[in-house]
Chain A
Amino acid sequence: MARVRGFGAFLWDFVVGDDWRSAVGVAVALGVTAVAAGAGVAAWWIMPVAAVGLLGASVWRAMG
């Protein structure tokens, strides 16, 4: 059990890293892009805008 937990912690650290909010933001942005693209709306701009916003927020949080 401890090994499974350890592997889970490693995987979380490897994939999500030290800012889970950015990871959630990326997932949400991908979802919004998929919905917008599915509705036939131009959706290419959503990911760049989200990336800039998420990066700025992440830097801001890191500064405390």
Chain B
Amino acid sequence: MNHVTLCWLRTFLLTLIMAMGVVPEASAHRVNLFAYVDGGRIVTESWFSKSSRVRGGLIEVFDAATGEKFFSGTTDDQGLLSFDVPAAARAKKADLRITLKAGEGHANETILKAEEYLNAPVTTAPAAPEPVSSADPAKAQADTPVAANDITAAAPSAPIPSPPASSGGATGTPVTTATPVPPQAATPAPVSPDPALLAAMDKMFDAKLAPVKSMLAEAMDPAPSMTEILGGIGWIFGLMGVAAYFKSRKG
């Protein structure tokens, strides 16, 4: 038995080593779905693995609470599908359950919180692509307004530091300088931003965030790690030990 076992172990370890070599390529039994808000649209990406996208997969959008169907469509050759936030969903402020059916028993789904699309400015400011899996919707909620504020405030706030310094020098009372500053700072703020500037920034953000988006999408597709593979094998041998123990007590 011992010799046989050793022989088996050798064969098995060889197979295992071969398997390790191909692990990075091998994560295609599961289909992945990633959805985010971009401008006023919802973008979904679907893929089996890095090199294999879901073509013609069926995407359906439901109300997460009631199950009412808002939208359905199929993915393109890149596994992408984008659509306007359904008006009915916007009216109801509904969380969206987005499901993907990729055929042959492959399916997945994800939840898109209402705050994510309600807070995303429809046409102007760049919406930060918020990963659906983010466990912290409050943070995502906070992000978008901050980004929008920065755009409006960035240009006017730059000259602020110098006027208070000069006005403070003129009056000669350093104590009071603090009070005039807030009204001065507040007055230039309401100036409405140039739409062309916003469009340019929109483009720039898209370009800058594209790699981040793809990194996030990839991070959501964890290929089985060595820990999990070895852990699984350990489990099998552990279970075998338990079985052997009980069989030996019976016998």
Q: Do A and B come from one complex?
A: no
